[in-house]
Chains A and B, each alone.
Chain A
Amino acid sequence: MHRLGGVGLAAFDRQRESQRSFAELSTELSKTQIDHLHVQLTQFRSALTHFASNHRDSIRRDPTFRHAFQQMCSSIGVDPLAGPRRGGWWAEMLGMGDWQYELGVQIVDVCVSTRERNGGVIELGELVRMVSKLRGVENGVVTEEDVVRSIKTLQPLGAGYEVIDVGNGKKMVRSVVKELDEDQATVLAEAQMEGGRVVEETLVTRAGWTRERARAALENMLLRDGLCWLDAQDEQHGKAYWVPSAMRWDE
């Protein structure tokens, strides 16, 4: 049997010795690798800094360049706005975050000021036009892509800003929280079956809700969202809710 390090007591010493040297070598190797990575990272960082300082203005001003830059970022898996710090290192370096947030504020401005007229839903092209007008820039300086990206940065605010694809290549931006929650969807489905009428009882018996849940869902739709009407003369229950969008109208 071949024994590493030979036979006898001395073999133990020799084995210990070689283990130590392997460990030393490994430490040295990792250290070299880390040093090497550090150098690379420093180089990368300085290249980025260089890129950022060189192209910062172009990125902010030129939509074509900005588009190319965004594509480059996404192809190498870097989100220019992401990062551990606020806005991210990348974003800070480029001033990209500020630009995007600024655009976000203007989007909110346009959406809120037109809400009365459009009920909180605006066509994307229209929004781009109005934001451009607000910024005092010509059409084409701010692109739809920019606006969509800015809207994504608004998402953590929870204000319900969302881009909806309505088909035919048309996109709309919704600025009110009109998304129906699951309970509201249930109420609507029940209303649809009853020609628009819903009472607490229906939801309790058919949907298996508690009375409190039924009442809360209906009262929210009535008072908060204005999605249904109150009928205080209901023959059976005294109080019924009518969902106009589920009612049958001849006109």
Chain B
Amino acid sequence: MGTTDGHAGFRLPSIHAAHAFFTEQPNPTTQSVFTDNWTRLILSYARHRRLFVIRVEDAEVAGGDWDEILRNERINRRVLPSYLNSLISAMVSRNLAYYEPPKQTRSVILLWRLPEEWADVLHSWGTATGQLNTILTLYEITDPPVPSPLSGIPLSLLRRTITILTRSGRAQLIGVADGEGVRLLTGGK
């Protein structure tokens, strides 16, 4: 079994062509190997396509962003919702995802970059675009006129990111007329 080129040059790992990869394993040692592989696959695909969210629902209905990963038509296998649910919870327990909205377990934000890494990305972007010391609304960051590395970042993840920057004195959270704003500061780490 070999690797297949999928969405815009994404290379699926060869284990994705193994029938059993789509079944939750009763042997815990085997399952932990599978969980590692699934986690890596989900995060790298998410990064490749800039997907921030995965839902149990993605395994229930076809036609979503995740079909290429959660299904393999060639061997007629798919990840069942219950399996995706347990993979998601394994990722949450490893701090590679968090439930959003909170208090449910069917939808997560994927951390293909950790909040600390996003903080650096945000600060570098602010510096590179000459927007230090100006007040930016969160919307200007998530949906900038010129696409940026932060385009489309979910608000909850952006807030976590800003919190990290404020702790190190590199940003200030400010209330503005239509909600929240942030002022990026030069301050070092």
Real binding pair: yes
List residues of A whose CB falls within 8 A of some B CB: 197, 222-223, 226, 229-235, 240, 242, 244, 247-251
Q: A249-B1, A250-B1, A250-B2 are in contact. Are A242 and B18 (CB under 8 A)?
A: yes
Whether the Cβ atoms of B3 and A250 lie closer than 8 Å is yes
B155 within 8 Å of A by Cβ?
no
Q: Which 9 A-B pairs have the closest CB atoms?
A: A229-B20, A250-B2, A231-B19, A231-B20, A232-B23, A242-B20, A251-B14, A226-B27, A226-B29
A242 touches B27 (CB 8 A): no
In the bound complex, CA of A143 to CA of B25 (Å): 44
Contact status B19-A240, CB under 8 Å: yes
B2 (CB) vs chain A CBs: closest residue: A250
How many A-B contacts are there with CB distance less than 8 Å?
51
CA distance A235 to B26 in the complex (A): 20
Contact A231 B27 (CB under 8 A): no
Contacts of A242 in B (CB 8 A): 18-20
A240 to B24, CA, bound (A): 13
Residues in B163-185 with C-beta less than 8 Å from chain A: none
Q: Which residue of B lies closest to A243 (CB)?
A: B20
In the docked arrangement, what's the CA distance between A220 and B100, Å?
40
Q: Is A230 a contact partner of B76 (Cβ separation < 8 A)?
A: no
Q: Is B22 positioned at the interface, with any CB of A under 8 Å from its CB?
A: yes
Instruction: Write the chain A residue with the least CB distance to B29.
Output: A226
Residue of B nearest to A222 (CB): B27
* B5-39 to A contact mask, C-beta < 8 Å, 1/0: 00000000010001111111111011000000000
Task: Assess the A230–B25 pair: CB atoms within 8 A.
Answer: yes
Residues of B within 8 A of A (CB): 1-3, 14, 18-27, 29-30, 76-78
The smallest C-beta distance from B163 to any residue of chain A, in angstroms, reads 38
Instruction: Using A226-B29, A250-B1 as known contacts, say yes or no to A233 and B14 having CB atoms under 8 A apart.
Output: no
Chain A nearest Cβ from B169, distance in angstroms:
44
Q: With A229-B20, A250-B14 given, can you name 16 additional A-B contacts, CB distance below 8 Å?
A: A197-B19, A226-B27, A226-B29, A229-B21, A230-B20, A231-B22, A232-B23, A233-B76, A233-B78, A235-B76, A242-B18, A244-B18, A247-B1, A251-B2, A251-B3, A251-B14
Point out the residue from A226, A234, A235, A247 that lies within 8 Å of B18, measured CB to CB: A247
- The residues of A that contact B18 with a CB separation of less than 8 Å are 229, 242, 244, 247
Whether the Cβ atoms of A229 and B77 lie closer than 8 Å is: no
Pairs across A and B, CB under 8 Å, 5 listed:
A222-B26, A226-B30, A233-B19, A242-B18, A242-B19
- The smallest beta-carbon distance between A238 and chain B, in angstroms, is 11
Instruction: Please report the C-alpha to C-alpha distance between residue A244 and residue B24 in the assembled complex, in whole angstroms.
Output: 16
A48 CA / B160 CA spacing, docked (Å): 81
Q: Which residues from chain A contact B24 at a C-beta distance below 8 Å?
A: 232
Q: Which residues of B contact A222 (CB under 8 A)?
A: 26-27
| Residue ID in chain B nearest A221 by CB atoms | B27
Q: Can you name the residue of chain B whose Cβ is closest to the Cβ of A195? A: B1
Contact residues in B for A233 (Cβ distance below 8 Å): 19, 22-23, 76-78
Contact of A229 with B76 at beta-carbon distance under 8 Å, contacts A234-B19, A249-B1, A250-B2 already known: no
Most buried by B among A197, A222, A231, A248: A231
Of B3, B14, B23, B30, the residue contacting A231 (CB under 8 A) is B23
Q: How far is the CA of A240 from the CA of B19 in the complex (A)?
A: 9
Q: Which residue of B lies closest to A224 (CB)?
A: B27
Q: Which residues of A contact B2 (CB under 8 A)?
A: 250-251
User: B20–A223 contact, CB under 8 A?
Assistant: no
Question: Using Cβ atoms and an 8 Å threshold, which residues of chain A touch B1?
Answer: 247-250
Q: Which residues of A are found within 8 Å of B27, using beta-carbon distances? A: 222-223, 226
Contacts of B25 in A (CB 8 A): 229-230
